[in-house]
Structures are given as structure tokens and as C-alpha cells.
């Protein structure tokens, strides 16, 4: 008989403890489920861990523990919270983002854990509007850059509906357009704390969970081809330009860029097993790292800004080929001083210089 846990997992204190609120250890439930259900049927499992410590995530996902296949953590999606408050707006802290991604890469690798890699889900704003740039000029470039950065890391990438076509946050006009109860409550609470209605509306428009819940934009027809009736949420007004049909019609679209990244992860073993090594400086708008397996290197560099950035690699490699880039034409192979265009990202394959 399979035990059915009914209490909430409480391990967000950062101390690595993994107990239910009655003191029952969650790993005993997971091991039993794994033995009787998950493993016999080849089921992939993923735990949503929010603020859980890395130590706990390692224990959940170490193969020898027979508990979970992988875990989501949300630390990297809080680097634009002012003073840790989701509803207080500030620009994304690139230094903090790079540090968190790098720490979880190195830490999980060192102890045998496994990451679930993601930017978006049903509780998050659209990443291209948040960490990228959703202007007409840079939306596609920044969406591809974010995709390339994520798919170069160790773990299992997740692509949330609409992310593969670069869907943006919609242009909200009034509070009654929202359905999410958290959003509606926060709109009132923010004002009770002394901010104006305009400030409260700006906060919920940027951070509401409804940003990620608008219907998928299938084509340029009425209601974005999603329904002939009334959808549960408004359709973003840019659906006539940003939709699945439009992406499928262009070989250089975000959709096909994702397909190329997925294909690379199926053939480049270094993207699965390679050790992570970071090269950029914290204050730079560039994220640069290698994945190294034996003498093979997959090298990734990405400019998170809308300005050209000069970057110099500390360690050169023998370059074999450019695997993928989000700009048309051949990417530069300069390993001394590299000038990256706005939101430019490149993935190379090469070998270690001995």
C-alpha cells in the first residue's frame, strides 16, 4: 500500500532539513513512491522547491537516494525584487543572477544533484519582458539569448507555453482585466502601504502571475486563434505579430532557434556531463562560461544588455566550430577581445589548450 502524504513539505529554512510539519521525514515517502511507482514505470519526477536550500535539493535528486529526478529552485527569479519584496520593482541584478546560476551549477555538480532549468512558468511574468527586452528591436534577439544561456547549463531545460515564440507580458490597462486573486489583493495592499494607485498598478502589471497565463497566440485571427468564444484572460495586443503561425513561417524565428538548441543537447554530450566553469566578472553585463568534458569544451557567452560590450576571455581554447548564435552570419572566433552586440549570444565547440 502506498502511503499518501497529506501535509505540506516544509524545508524552506535553508538548513537542509526535509520534514513534514508533523516531523515525518519526506524522504521516506519519496523512497516508497519511487520503489513502488516511479522507478518500475520509468516516471520522471520533479519537485517544486521555491526557496529550498541547495543542500536539500542535492539530497532529493542524488540518484543513490532514489527520491526525485530533479528539482526546480526559484532563487534566480528573485533578483529583481527590491529588498526581497516581489511587488517592489527594480531592474534585474545581473551580478546576482550570474552568481546564483553559477553557484547552483557548481554545487549540484559537486554533490551529484540535478537541476531543472527554467525561466518561465504559470506563476512568473514572461521572461523576455523581465530579463530580456520586449521592444520590437530586441525581443527576438533577447529571447534567443536567454534560451541559449539556459540550454548551455547542466540540467533538464523546461520551455513554458509561449516562451518558444517569445510571448511578452500583455499591455494591461485596468485592474479589472486581471483574474489572479493575489494580484487583486496586492493592488489594494500596496496602496494601503502608502503608494499611489498608479504605482500599485505598475507593480502588479509587471509582476502578476496573469502575465504568464494569457492564452497561447496561435495565429493572427480573432482571439489569436485560441478560441471563438471569450478567453479566461485578455489576449496580448501584439498577437497579430507574435504567434505560432508567424514563427513557423520563418526559418530564423525563436521557435526554430529552440529546436536547434534541443537538437544540440541530444548530440553534444558535453552539454549533459561537462563541468561548469565561469569566466566573466560580476559587474559585467556578460555571462560567459565553459562546459568541459575531458579535452572538449562547449563555450557560451551572452550579452544581457542593449549596448555593445567588450569581453576578453581569460583562457583561450582551440575553436572547432560555432554551434549556434542569435545574430545572422558567422560569429567571431576572436578569443582575445570580443565585441558583443546588444543581446548577442554565441555557443562554440572546441578543445582545451594544453
pLDDT in tens, 147-187: 999 999 999 999 999 999 999 999 999 999 999 999 999 99
d(CA 121, CA 202): 21
pLDDT, position 24 = 55
Q: Which of 202, 201, 131 is nearest to 166 (CA)?
A: 131
- Is the pLDDT at 231 greater than 70? The verdict is yes
Q: What secondary structure letter does DSSP report for 272? A: H
Structure confidence at residue 337 (pLDDT): 84
The DSSP call for residue 240 is: G
191-228 pLDDT, tens per residue? 999 999 999 999 999 999 999 999 999 999 999 999 99
Cβ atoms of 276 and 105 within 8 Å: the answer is yes
Residue linked to cell 520533479: 46
* Contact present, 53 and 60 (Cβ < 8 Å): no
Cβ atoms of 304 and 130 within 8 Å: the answer is no
Q: Identify the pLDDT of residue 2.
A: 37
Classify residue 55 as exposed, middle or buried by CB count within 10 Å of its CB (0-12, 13-18, 19+): middle
Q: Name which residue leads in pLDDT, 33 or 25.
A: 33
| 4 band by pLDDT with thresholds 50, 70 and 90 | very low
Alpha helices in 166-313 (DSSP H): 181-192, 197-207, 244-248, 254-267, 270-273
- Choose the weakest-confidence range: 51-60, 226-235, 247-256, 263-272: 51-60
Strands (E), the chain: 9-10, 19-20, 46-48, 70-72, 81-82, 85-89, 116-117, 156-157, 275-278, 286-293, 296-303, 309-312, 317-325, 337-340, 345-352
Residue 277's pLDDT band (boundaries 50, 70, 90)? very high
Whether 21 has a pLDDT exceeding 60, the answer reads no
Secondary structure class of 127 (helix, strand, coil):
helix
Cα–Cα distance measured from residue 294 to residue 77, given in angstroms and rounded to the nearest whole number: 32
| Domains of the chain, first to last | 9-262 (3.20.20.80), 275-352 (2.60.40.1180)
Is pLDDT of 8 > 50?
A: no
**C-alpha count within 13 angstroms, C-beta hemisphere, residue 126:** 27
Average pLDDT, integer, range 301-308: 97
Distances (CA, A) of 237 to 29, 224, 226, 248, 348: 46, 9, 14, 20, 37
Measured distance CA(46)–CA(161) in Å, rounded: 18
Band (pLDDT 50/70/90 cuts) for residue 1 is: very low
| Average pLDDT estimate for 84-94 | 96
How far is 243 from 52, CA to CA, in rounded Å? 36
**Residues 21 and 7 sit within 8 Å (Cβ to Cβ):** yes
pLDDT exceeds cutoff 70 at 3? no
User: Stretch 107-135: mean pLDDT, rounded?
Assistant: 97
Residue 335's pLDDT is: 66
Instruction: Tell me which of 265 and 29 has the higher pLDDT.
Output: 265
Q: Over range 294-304, report the average pLDDT.
A: 97
Q: Cα dist. 153→91, 93, 122, 156, 330 in Å?
A: 24, 20, 22, 9, 23
Question: Any idea which of 13-17, 172-176, 181-185, 266-270 has the lowest mean pLDDT?
Answer: 13-17
**Cβ-count burial of 232 within 10 angstroms (0-12 exposed, 13-18 middle, 19+ buried)?**
exposed
Q: How confident is the model at residue 9 (pLDDT cuts 50, 70, 90)?
A: very low
pLDDT of residue 354: 81
Amino acid at each position: 500500500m502506498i502511503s499518501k502524504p497529506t501535509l505540506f513539505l516544509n524545508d524552506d529554512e535553508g538548513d537542509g532539513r526535509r520534514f513534514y510539519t508533523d516531523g515525518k521525514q519526506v524522504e521516506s515517502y519519496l523512497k516508497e513512491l519511487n520503489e513502488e511507482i516511479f522507478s518500475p514505470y520509468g516516471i520522471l519526477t520533479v519537485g517544486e522547491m521555491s526557496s529550498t536550500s541547495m543542500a536539500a535539493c542535492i539530497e532529493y535528486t542524488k540518484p543513490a537516494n532514489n527520491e526525485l529526478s530533479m528539482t526546480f529552485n526559484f532563487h534566480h527569479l528573485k533578483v529583481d525584487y527590491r529588498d526581497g519584496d516581489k511587488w517592489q520593482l527594480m531592474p534585474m541584478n545581473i551580478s546576482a543572477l550570474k552568481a546564483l546560476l553559477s553557484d547552483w551549477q557548481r554545487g549540484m555538480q559537486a554533490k551529484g544533484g540535478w537541476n531543472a532549468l527554467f525561466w518561465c512558468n504559470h506563476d512568473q511574468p514572461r521572461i523576455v519582458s523581465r530579463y530580456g527586452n520586449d521592444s520590437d528591436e530586441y525581443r527576438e534577439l533577447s529571447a534567443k539569448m536567454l534560451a541559449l544561456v539556459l540550454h548551455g547549463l547542466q540540467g533538464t531545460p523546461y520551455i513554458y507555453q509561449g516562451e518558444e515564440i517569445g510571448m511578452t507580458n500583455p499591455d494591461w490597462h485596468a485592474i479589472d482585466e486581471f483574474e489572479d486573486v493575489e494580484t487583486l489583493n496586492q493592488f489594494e495592499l500596496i496602496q494601503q502601504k502608502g503608494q499611489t494607485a498608479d504605482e500599485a498598478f505598475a507593480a502588479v502589471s509587471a509582476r502578476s502571475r496573469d502575465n504568464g497565463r494569457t492564452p497561447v497566440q496561435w495565429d493572427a485571427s480573432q482571439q489569436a486563434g485560441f478560441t471563438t468564444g471569450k478567453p479566461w484572460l485578455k489576449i496580448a495586443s501584439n498577437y497579430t505579430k507574435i504567434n505560432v503561425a508567424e514563427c513557423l513561417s520563418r526559418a530564423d524565428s525563436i521557435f526554430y532557434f529552440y529546436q536547434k538548441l534541443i537538437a544540440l543537447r541530444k548530440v553534444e554530450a558535453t552539454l549533459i556531463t561537462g563541468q561548469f566553469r565561469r569566466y566573466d566578472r560580476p559587474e559585467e553585463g556578460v555571462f560567459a562560461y565553459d562546459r568541459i568534458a575531458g579535452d572538449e569544451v562547449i563555450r557560451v557567452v551572452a550579452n544581457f544588455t542593449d549596448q555593445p560590450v567588450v569581453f576578453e576571455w581569460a583562457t583561450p581554447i582551440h575553436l572547432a566550430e560555432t554551434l549556434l548564435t542569435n545574430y545572422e552570419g558567422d560569429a567571431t572566433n576572436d578569443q582575445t577581445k570580443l565585441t558583443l552586440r546588444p543581446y548577442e549570444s554565441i555557443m562554440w565547440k572546441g578543445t582545451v589548450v594544453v
